[in-house]
Amino acid sequence: MPKFLTMLDPRPWIALAVVAAVLFCIVKYKDAINETTKLKAQISQDQAEATANTLENERLMSRSLAAIASNHQKEMQDEKDKQDKFISGVRNGTVRLSIPVKACPTSAGANSAPGPGDIPETRAELTPTAGNALAAIATDGDNAIRQLNACIDSYQAIRTVINVQAK
């Protein structure tokens, strides 16, 4: 057979095309595997960083909440000591509690009408039992406010950490 006719035979050309296609696919497959490996490594690194950030934020929140709780307990104990001292003073009479009351008009003063601000103030002294009850009500209110302030402080501390984490 003449040489030019062998060049027209499609079998070597098809074989060459198949070999080129296979080589192209192998190169692309290796590139895809390399890219996949790089992406997996990046994902693992991102996950490790996110976990480390989350753990650090958790530690920061725990420390903040512990400091707030400790401060709150100290404040509550200081106020309890102060309140116990006050109530003890009310009970033994060293602290006297009184409230202003309206003076009863006397028969001599009934004819003359006092002007505004001329009303004499009279005070009524509370018994120790009534003073203790009144002090207990005030203490309960103060304690509730302190509890609420500690709750607000805790919320703000966590909110700050979360807002920093979100940025």
pLDDT of amino acid 115:
56
- Residue 163's pLDDT band, with cuts at 50, 70 and 90, is confident
Q: Write the DSSP assignment of the chain as a string of letters.
A: --HHHHHH-HHHHHHHHHHHHHHHHHHHHHHHHHHHHHHHHHHHHHHHHHHHHHHHHHHHHHHHHHHHHHHHHHHHHHHHHHHHHHHHHHHHTSS--EEEEEPPPPTTTSSSPPPTT-PPEEEEEPPHHHHHHHHHHHHHHHHHHHHHHHHHHHHHHHHHHHHHHH-
Position 15 scores a pLDDT of 87
Q: What is the pLDDT of residue 116?
A: 57
Q: Quote the pLDDT of residue 122.
A: 85
Give the Cα separation of 85 and 46 in Å (integer). Answer: 58
Please write the tens of the pLDDT for every residue from 68-118: 999 999 999 999 999 999 989 988 888 888 888 887 766 655 455 555 556
Tell me the two tokens of residue 124: 């009524």
Per-residue pLDDT tens for 23-55? 999 988 888 888 999 999 999 999 999 999 889
Locus of tokens 């530690």: 59
Domain ranges of the chain: 3-92+126-166
pLDDT computed for residue 9 by the predictor? 76
On the question of pLDDT at 162 being above 90, the answer is no
